[in-house]
Structure 1
Amino acid sequence: MLSRRLTDLAQADRFQLLVSAVKDYAIYLLDSEGRVATWNIGAQLFKGYTADEIVGRHFSTFYTDEDRAAGLPERALHTAATNGRFESEGWRVRKDGTRFWTHVVIDPVIEDGEVIGYAKITRDVSEQRAADRALYESEQRFRLLVQGVKDYAIYMLDPEGNITNWNAGAEAIKGYAADEIIGRHFSLFYTPEDREAGAPARALATALREGKFSGEAQRVRKDGERFWASVLIDPIHDETGKLLGFAKVTRDISEKRRAEEELERSREALVQAQKMEAIGRLTGGVAHDFNNLLTVIRASADFLRRPNVPEEKRTRYVEAIAETAERAATLTGQLLAFARRQPLQPEVFDVCTRLRGLHRIIGSMIGSSVTIQNDLPETEHLVEADPTQFDTAILNMVINARDAMPRGGTIRIGARIVGGVPAVRGHAAASGAFVAVDISDDGTGMSPETLQKIFEPFFTTKPVDKGTGLGLSQVYGFAKQSRGEIDVASQLDVGTTFTLYLPSAAGQVTTVPASAAQLADVSNIPRRRVLLVEDNEGVGKFAAGLLKELGQAVTWVGDGQAALKALNNDAEGFDLVFTDVVMPGINGLELAQLIQQQRPGLQIVLTSGYSHVIAEQGAQGFPLVRKPYSIDGLLAILASGRDESQSSAKRQAAER
């Protein structure tokens, strides 16, 4: 029905109906003098006048007083009649006197070449103008803010990396004025080596790929000076995702870097000073203890030089020298253990069985006022470590616990399997299966300051001549060299718990060979042909003399090359090679491996007081005798060589 009525209306009437219905625009006609001839609902909503109130009045009613005084209404009509259109924005006034911002279009209505009136469309754009104004002011403030920043270079790049704007901070840091740099590529600030390596292109590619690039590197100022810069690059996209360019922020951090470098130099100097202090303390401790030992040896030797020394005193002085030499060997062993340079002879053994075997020795050491309480499971807790060093570590911790309980108490010894080692003294935690041995006491405990130093060599809280300060150092070195760890927890007046961690081992317990003392008891050791390889003249003469005293035929050479030459000159002339490890040129371990390849049946025994090769790689299956060795030790070598030759002879007979 409505459609038919609209169709029936004349075209002019339909147009009038359309205009009258529009609410978002004021659409009305003016006569040739500028008086309002028509008025739609949009005009009424914007301006506040009804048609009855405004039709016939001049349209200048809507202008501000200042615009009317300036003749703006008349100029608008004149421009429309002359140019065919007038368009502008400006303030207008509602009926209630409030002002609003409008967008105005005036078109002339022409009939027979004569202007008979004007069509006027007005839209209230106050909100849009306010938003545009706010955006403009915000952009102006931001621009002023960016331009005012002097500690940061803030500038823009186009998609190719060319500079499009430049702030005062950029000029202050880089040295270029805006008119010198805009339009040039930002790679200008990179060092020649960075440009050659493609660093600028990689920076933009990273920013595009990851949404940001950040880094620190050297950059170059206009005058060629290099400086350290912290750089941020962010890509800028429009609402469609199109790349518009990059925002780049650079800060000069040269002073910060210089401060950090100075701090690092100070730290290194402090560390070096601490190292020198530690070396001084270590040297002083070694000198003190060795001077004590040498005093005994020298005094005993002086007494032995005197004529007509009674047999009883001669025996006592000889025993004193022998015992002191053993103590000196123990001292060097403890130092090497702390430094993780002690040659270890690892075996697979059960920790619980080993601890039970130490029970009697521990009981005799700690006295009647201290009780031992074992908490050891019946199941095997296997580790692969040097059992002798393990025993020494346990005894050192037990002695430390005993000394912490001068009035007596209880020492608890336990073993358990754990799934890892916690982070200790700055060392990272370790995962895996470990056997943890706990030794606890209810003694005096230790302060946090003492706990930080207890594993340092020669540090001790005991009175003078009551401890060397090397016992816990040995435990520390043994743990580290065995790929384990040592931890300690203590509280003053409550007690202390040491926990030794050793990696668990799979397989079976290593069969323990006969001890050196047992082998030394073997009688009728045959005469052997021994190639002695020792670069130290004093030790070489002494060892050759001892072997000859034991009835052996000895050829002594001073290095590995001489040993190989002797073997080549007399291929069947030797039954045993007894070689030092630390030598110039070919070391003892390398020599042993060469001989083993060339003469697989020849018996080889290594000896060393210290060798980083042995400490790091082990003895590679060769027998190892630690210096200082004794006559019993040499007898053990000869006995083991005899056993090996007998076994070899039996194998050869079986093959025949």
Structure 2
Amino acid sequence: MTRPGVRARVASLWLDQTLAVKGLIAMTLPLLALLVSLAALLVVSGREVTAENEVRRTLRLQSDIESVSVQLERAATGVRGYLLTDDVRFLAPYLSARQNLPVILARLDGTVRDAGQRTRLERVRRLVGQKLAGLTELRDVQGSRADIIRQLVQNKVLLDMLRAELQAMTVREADLVAARTADSARVRQWRMLVLIGAALLGILGAAAGTLLYARSIVRRMQALREDARALALGQQPGPLASGRDEIAQLAVALRDTGVLLRSREDALREARLFLESLISSGPILMVRYDSARGTVSYLSPNAGRELGLPTLEAARPAALWARVDHATRALAARHAPLPPPGGTLLTRFRHGDGRPRWFQASLLPDGDELLVYALDVTEREEAARALLNSEERLRLAIEGVQEYGIFTLDAQGRVSSWNSGAQRIHGYDAPDILGRSLATFYPPGDRSAVQERLRTAQRDGRVADEGIRVRRDGSTFWASTVLTALHAPDGTLRGFSKITRDVTERHAAELAVRAAREEAERASRAKSEFLSRMSHELRTPLNAVLGFAQLLQLRAGDAQQTRYADQIVRAGRHLLGLINEVLDFSRLESGHLTLNPESLSVPDLLREVAELVGPSAQARQVTVVVPGGGPPEVYADRQRLTQVLLNLTDNAVKYNSPGGTAVLDASLAPDGTVTLGVHDSGPGLTPQQISDLFTPFDRLGAESGPTEGTGLGLAVSRHLVTAMHGHMTVDSTPGRGSTFRVHLPFPPFPLPAVQEAPHDP
């Protein structure tokens, strides 16, 4: 990439940053210069401290070297003094040297770093040891004078060697001190230069950051100001500012604002044109009246049409004012206050065709001018007056109603109007009852419920009620009432209307009917009790008769006796079946029925019923078919459901033709209902026969036929199915047979608790 390309990319990257990032970068430049300066200053200061420490260490080395030389010379002088005087006090320097020299040498060993100096230090340590050993021998010498001189000469030679080594070390350390002192001075000079450079770098960084930040903002803000000025003048702004920072976003927003402003100006212009067109063709009349000059400054184009006047005449206030009704002019003459801003004024105006017209005007002050919006409401006012007339006629009609008490209540339940029917029923004249509470018409024990009835009517719209009401003279009557809530157009409760009718005679008739029904029910229960007791009393001797007849069958001597015995048994069993059906029917009517529900196998139940009616069907040449399939189980009382199916299947066989069929099947509905069906191919039933089918003791004209029966089987079966929470249906077509269906709920239904029936004797 070329250098101009890199520069352009960097400039674009800089412009894309947010103002916060740019400010951070501008602040970072002087901070970075400061950090660099501080780092350099720290490095230089460290070197300065190191140089000064080296100078101090060298000075300590020189001091320790001097201490070694002094200690040895004092030790040698002390030993010589001891030899001359034999006074042990002269040995004190010697003893001090023996104690201090190892410490000084050890300190030198830890301080010396120069390789040459360390070599000399090793020689000095060896010579010091030898010197101390020689001084010890000199102290302890016991020989002749020549031996002492020899020892002294040897110690002097060692001391001279030590002095030479120590002198060399001292010279070397002096050179090192000079070099390190010069190095420390140079470091201090560098520190001064670094401080000056840091100050200059900080100033330059701050100036560069400020200049960079200012150039990127000020120039573009000036461009934004020019764009805003162009938009204010309705001109096209300049090109968009480059970059994606807040200034660029502000430029885009300013450009979008200009576009939106122009579009709204266009929309406002179109709306103004549309409004003027709408006003011209609409019914609202607009007038701007200059009260200071007494002139009309604006008159909508539809004024002439709405007022029926030429436009020039409609624009003259005097001409308009002359056509306003006398009431409005009298109001203005008395200087009565105008309606508040936004309020309305209803006035009558004489139209150009001479007819009066009603206008509703809104008056809006606008400085020294008055804006008037007027709408022709003649039809509404005429309708309102017609409604008032209609209400007056209705009021007069209500006043004439005598059969119904019609009156109204206010929102608190106080009587506000009263008709003659209410006066006749309740006994109150209008002046005596107006303003009194609705509770006045209720017995003292029922008055607490009046407010609840008012709340119910307000919530539900109306509430109907019957009960005892009290007349003015204290007498009571049975009333049928309807309480209706009355609401204003805005939904506010205005009050209630109450319609009362005296239904005392009807109520007395209903009580009489109820008493008669209760008496009939008591008679029915007595009948059922009688049938139940009679059935029990008849079954005891009948069982004995059947027992003896069966013995006669077993002991009959000839065919005639056997035939007689068979007739007795057959007649007895028929009578026993009749008694059982009567007993079941009486139990069902009295509610004394025992039910033991359980889960039953449907296929087994249908096969059992088919087997039980098999001999009878075979004798009548009727085929009983159980096709199978359907639901596996049903929940019911086994004995009673078997009784129902046997009754239906026995009827399908008895009333069938030779060669006919009786089909027993079962099905399961989607709602879980189990349906057991019995279909026959018999003669079928007419609609009239179906309607009388379940009437007790009604055999539908088969009493004179060869087929035996009591007329109770289907009635008992229907009651049994109902007791098991099911129902029975029948479909039949004359000549095509009949279908009886038993519908039972499944899964198990909660059977009601029943009273245990007395056991049969």
**TM-score calculated relative to the size of structure 1:** 0.51
Q: Residues 458-469 of structure 1 correspond to what in structure 2 (within 5 A)?
A: 458-460=697-699, 461-463=702-704, 466-469=707-710
Letter paired with 1:250: T
User: Are the equivalent residues in 2 in contact too, given 1:46–1:124 (CA < 8 A)?
Assistant: no
SS at match of 1:493: coil
* 2:207 maps to 1:207: no
SS at match of 1:20: strand
* 2:755 maps to 1:616: yes
Q: Residues 241-280 of structure 1 correspond to what in structure 2 (within 5 A)?
A: 243-254=493-504, 257=507
Change (3 A) 1:438 1:21: same
User: Are the equivalent residues in 1 in contact too, given 2:466–2:481 (CA < 8 A)?
Assistant: yes
* 2:392 maps to 1:143: yes
Structure with bigger helix share is 2
> By how many angstroms is 1:145 displaced?
0.9
User: Are the equivalent residues in 1 in contact too, given 2:307–2:352 (CA < 8 A)?
Assistant: no
Counterpart of 1:497? 739
Counterpart of 1:333? 580
Work out which of the residue numbers 597, 603, 624 in structure 2 matches 1:352.
Answer: 603
User: Are the equivalent residues in 1 in contact too, given 2:467–2:480 (CA < 8 A)?
Assistant: yes
User: Are the equivalent residues in 1 in contact too, given 2:479–2:501 (CA < 8 A)?
Assistant: yes
Counterpart of 1:412? 663
User: Are the equivalent residues in 2 in contact too, given 1:458–1:468 (CA < 8 A)?
Assistant: no
Q: Deviations over 1:588-640 (max 9, x none)?
A: xxxxxxxxxxxxxxxxxxxxxxxxx9973489xxxxxx645xxxxxxxxxxxx
Counterpart of 1:173? 425
Counterpart of 1:370? 622
Q: Residues 490-529 of structure 1 correspond to what in structure 2 (within 5 A)?
A: 490-502=732-744, 504=746
Alpha-carbon distance in 1 for matches of 2:541, 2:692: 25
Root-mean-square deviation (CA, aligned residues, Å) is: 5.8
> By how many angstroms is 1:350 displaced?
1.9
Alpha-carbon distance in 2 for matches of 1:458, 1:410: 27
* 2:685 maps to 1:446: yes
Change (3 A) 1:482 1:145: closer
Q: Deviations over 1:484-542 (max 9, x none)?
A: 44432222222111223455578xxxxxxxxxxxxxxxxxxxxxxxxxxxxxxxxxxxx
Alpha-carbon distance in 1 for matches of 2:299, 2:630: 97
Q: Deviations over 1:334-382 (max 9, x none)?
A: 3333334565666654231233345454332123632222211287335
* 2:717 maps to 1:479: no
User: Are the equivalent residues in 1 in contact too, given 2:296–2:315 (CA < 8 A)?
Assistant: no
Gap regions ≥5 residues in structure 2: 1-288, 339-345, 360-369
Counterpart of 1:640? none
Change (3 A) 1:153 1:292: same
Letter paired with 1:413: L
Greater CA deviation, 481-490 or 260-269?
260-269
> By how many angstroms is 1:177 displaced?
2.0
Greater CA deviation, 144-153 or 175-184?
144-153
SS at match of 1:414: strand
Q: Residues 123-134 of structure 1 correspond to what in structure 2 (within 5 A)?
A: 131-132=380-381, 134=383
Letter paired with 1:217: G
Alpha-carbon distance in 2 for matches of 1:176, 1:188: 11
Alpha-carbon distance in 1 for matches of 2:733, 2:744: 25
Structure with bigger strand share is 1
> By how many angstroms is 1:160 displaced?
2.4
Alpha-carbon distance in 1 for matches of 2:425, 2:673: 57
SS at match of 1:463: coil
User: Are the equivalent residues in 2 in contact too, given 1:296–1:320 (CA < 8 A)?
Assistant: no
Counterpart of 2:160? none
Change (3 A) 1:160 1:451: same
> By how many angstroms is 1:333 displaced?
3.0
User: Are the equivalent residues in 2 in contact too, given 1:148–1:167 (CA < 8 A)?
Assistant: no
SS at match of 1:165: strand
Alpha-carbon distance in 1 for matches of 2:431, 2:601: 82
Q: Deviations over 1:219-276 (max 9, x none)?
A: 2232333334343434445566654433334344445545655666677788889999
> By how many angstroms is 1:166 displaced?
2.2
> By how many angstroms is 1:483 displaced?
4.7
Letter paired with 1:233: L
Letter paired with 1:176: Y
Alpha-carbon distance in 2 for matches of 1:157, 1:248: 8
Q: Deviations over 1:99-137 (max 9, x none)?
A: 54799xxxxxxxxxxxxxxxxx9x999956775454244
User: Are the equivalent residues in 1 in contact too, given 2:630–2:667 (CA < 8 A)?
Assistant: no
Letter paired with 1:365: S
> By how many angstroms is 1:142 displaced?
0.4
* 2:642 maps to 1:403: no
> By how many angstroms is 1:138 displaced?
2.2
Q: Deviations over 1:268-302 (max 9, x none)?
A: 7888899999999x79x97999899699679979x
SS at match of 1:616: coil
Task: Give the share of equivalent positions with the same residue, in percent.
Answer: 25
The alignment covers a number of residue pairs equal to: 431
Counterpart of 1:543? none
> By how many angstroms is 1:52 displaced?
14
User: Are the equivalent residues in 2 in contact too, given 1:384–1:505 (CA < 8 A)?
Assistant: no
Alpha-carbon distance in 2 for matches of 1:617, 1:279: 15
Work out which of the residue numbers 291, 294, 297 in structure 2 matches 1:21.
Answer: 297
Work out which of the residue numbers 158, 162, 166 in structure 1 matches 2:414.
Answer: 162
Change (3 A) 1:333 1:19: same
Alpha-carbon distance in 1 for matches of 2:753, 2:384: 77
Gap regions ≥5 residues in structure 1: 1-12, 25-40, 104-120, 304-309, 421-431, 507-612, 620-625, 629-656
Change (3 A) 1:468 1:269: same
SS at match of 1:396: helix
* 2:481 maps to 1:231: yes
User: Are the equivalent residues in 2 in contact too, given 1:486–1:499 (CA < 8 A)?
Assistant: yes
